[in-house]
Amino acid sequence: MSPLRFSLVADDSHSDDTVDRLPSVPFRILMPPVSLSSLRKGARGTVSQVREDPQTLGDEAQSTVSRRLLELGFIPGEALEVVAETWPGGDPMAVRLGNTLFALRRREAGAVLVAVEGC
């Protein structure tokens, strides 16, 4: 897949910066990051940040959507692509993150900010 991720990882491991910053990638990211929930099928990009989403994912207070998103690998610099939407309404959606496919609703997707590729 893209060599981008590995170089990023190497960068990050030597830096003290906060992870929320936009990675300085060597190709064009023209737009400010947008919410994953606004993306349609076929859109690609890289995760730039996971926002705090206090919605709990289970019955325990610690297990929030944001925490699980991070645990599943939605961390800055990871490439993702929206691969499917349901009909009608396009909700839930299916997102490929690296090599793994996830189904999530637009509302959960709202916690992920994405730097969209191309345009």
In the beta sheet, which residues pair with residue 116? Answer: 45
Q: Closer to other proteins by CB, 3 or 119: give it.
A: 3
CA dihedral 45, 50, 56, 60 (to 10 degrees): 120
CA 111, CA 118: separation in Å to the nearest integer? 22
Q: Closer to other proteins by CB, 44 or 68: give it.
A: 68
Task: Report, in Å, the least distance between residue 70 CB and other proteins.
Answer: 5
Q: Closer to other proteins by CB, 89 or 119: give it.
A: 89
Q: Is the Cβ–Cβ distance between 25 and 79 less than 8 Å?
A: no
Task: Report, in Å, the least distance between residue 54 CB and other proteins.
Answer: 11
- Local structure of 113: helix, strand or coil: strand
Residues that bind other proteins (CB under 8 A): 1, 5-6, 9-10, 12-13, 19, 50, 55, 57-60, 62-63, 65-73, 75-76, 83-89, 91-92, 94, 98-105, 107-108
Q: Closer to other proteins by CB, 29 or 47: give it.
A: 47
The closest alpha carbon to 80, from 32, 38, 57, 48, belongs to 48
